[in-house]
Amino acid sequence: MQIVLFGPPGAGKGTQAKYISEEFNIPHISTGDILRENVREGTALGKKAKAYMDKGELVPDAILIDIIKDRLQKPDTKKGFLLDGFPRTLRQAEALDAILDDINKSIDVVVNVDVGDNEIIRRLSGRRTCRSCQATYHVRANPPKVPGICDQCGGELYQRADDTEAAIKHRIEVYKKQTQPLIEYYKKKGLLVDIDGEREIDEVRADIISTLKRFQ
Ligand code: AP5
Ligand code: MG
Ligand code: ZN
């Protein structure tokens, strides 16, 4: 199955992606995680991307399209994949269609996780992320068993550089201007499924999994 997980910053894409990827045994491809890994490792790509990311701006399309083209050539994507955080602009969506066309694939479904602005701010300002495995927690809604330590791998939890109030507000604006229009794009193609993301993590998870089973 080829799935796009869509939604505003903080909607819970990363949280739900983990469950979807386990349930359907497909790789979770998060462009945000790939970029942050490059920043951490100090690659040329990471150096270029960091300033955009810290401010909550989108990294230029050409860079993202190259990343995805490359990633979708890896053999683990043969049985399908789950995209999280890509595409984010019309240009990226069109490029993705062309890349998939070339390898005789297409998107089966776009899951649009819907969450309002106030809840986004609440979620992102309390988020903690694992440095080692990228698992996400929330200081109140989804706390780790031991503060500061990842339940999954024992890694150190940190606060992302773009989870400051100013960057969060800017990310929401950028989402509305550049990314939200893709809802229409995928609706027109008949691929969009809306999921109410403002519920308990487990409720959202059950809804997404049962919805996706219909597309299997
Ligand atoms: P990216 O990493 O994709 O960030 P984002 O889209 O802003 O989304 P987040 O990862 O912040 O949120 P999420 O939906 O994954 O939520 P999560 O599950 O963590 O991108 C970062 C940056 O990279 C961009 O700003 C840009 O610069 C660059 N970039 C990446 N892709 C790009 C692209 N394609 N083009 C250009 N630039 C790109 O959950 C959030 C919090 O809420 C957590 O604390 C979690 O525990 C909690 N939570 C989750 N679900 C619930 C729930 N149901 N109830 C209560 N709390 C919940
Ligand atoms: Mg994420
Ligand atoms: Zn971890």
Predicted model pTM: 0.96
Q: Which ligand is nearest to the CA of 178?
A: 1
Give the catalytic positions in this structure: 13, 88, 127, 160, 171
What is d(CA 83, CA 108) in angstroms, rounded to the nearest whole number?
12
Q: 172 in ligand 1 pocket by Cβ < 6 Å? A: no
Kindly give the confidence (pLDDT) of every residue in the chain, 216 residues in length, as a single tens digit, with 9 standing for 90 and above.
999 999 999 999 999 999 999 999 999 999 999 999 999 999 999 999 999 999 999 999 999 999 999 999 999 999 999 999 999 999 999 999 999 999 999 999 999 999 999 999 999 999 999 999 999 999 999 999 999 999 999 999 999 999 999 999 999 999 999 999 999 999 999 999 999 999 999 999 999 999 999 998
- Classify residue 55 as exposed, middle or buried by CB count within 10 Å of its CB (0-12, 13-18, 19+): middle
- Classify residue 183 as exposed, middle or buried by CB count within 10 Å of its CB (0-12, 13-18, 19+): middle
Q: What is the CA(190)–ligand 2 centre distance, in A?
A: 25
Closest atom, ligand 1, to C-alpha of 123: 42
